[in-house]
Amino acid sequence: MHKNWVKRLGDRGDTMVEVAIAIVIVSFVLMSAYSLSHRSSQSIVDAKEHAQAVKYVESQIEYLRSNNGTSIANACFYSGIQYPSSNPNCTINPNGAGTAPAYNLNITNSGSSSPYSITATWDNIYGTGKASVQIFYRIVQ
């Protein structure tokens, strides 16, 4: 009692179902690898952008320290000169004009005894909004 669908000893090759299952498995593995590498590269770029923002904020703190504060409510320093935060000099494009990320720098202070808030804001790599780094600094005299 031999049926047609039973593999005989002399038969060779794979059935169409086996080939389709193999293709699905290989496709799943390749898509997972691509997704993982893409997410990993985005995380690397995000970390690089955060590190760059921290450097810009730290440079603003150094300018604050050397100038004993700022005389403008919302300000930033560019090449040692104080500007209102709405000035184009308060936006830094490390990769050239019109490229991402563009870091917007802002220094605020709510009173003479309160600390300065230095913030760098930019569009995040994920396209879901803004990312920012904020450091507080109090001038001790």
Whether 24 maps to a domain, the answer reads: yes
Cα 122–chain centre separation:
9
Domain carrying residue 121:
16-137
Is 127 within the bounds of a domain? yes
**Would residue 107 count as lying in a domain?**
yes
What is the pLDDT, as a whole number, of residue 108? Answer: 93
**What's the number of domains the chain is made of?**
1
Instruction: Give domain status of residue 1, yes or no.
Output: no
In tens, the pLDDT along 99-117 reads 889 999 999 987 777 899 9
- 108 lies in a domain? yes
The secondary element (H helix, E strand) that includes residue 125 is none
Distances (CA, A) of 39 to 43, 45, 53, 84: 6, 10, 21, 37
pLDDT digits (tens, 9 = 90+) for 40-88: 999 999 999 999 999 999 999 999 988 888 878 899 999 889 999 999 9
Q: Where does the pLDDT of residue 135 fall: very low under 50, low under 70, confident under 90, or very high at 90 and above? A: very high
Strand, helix or coil for residue 95: coil
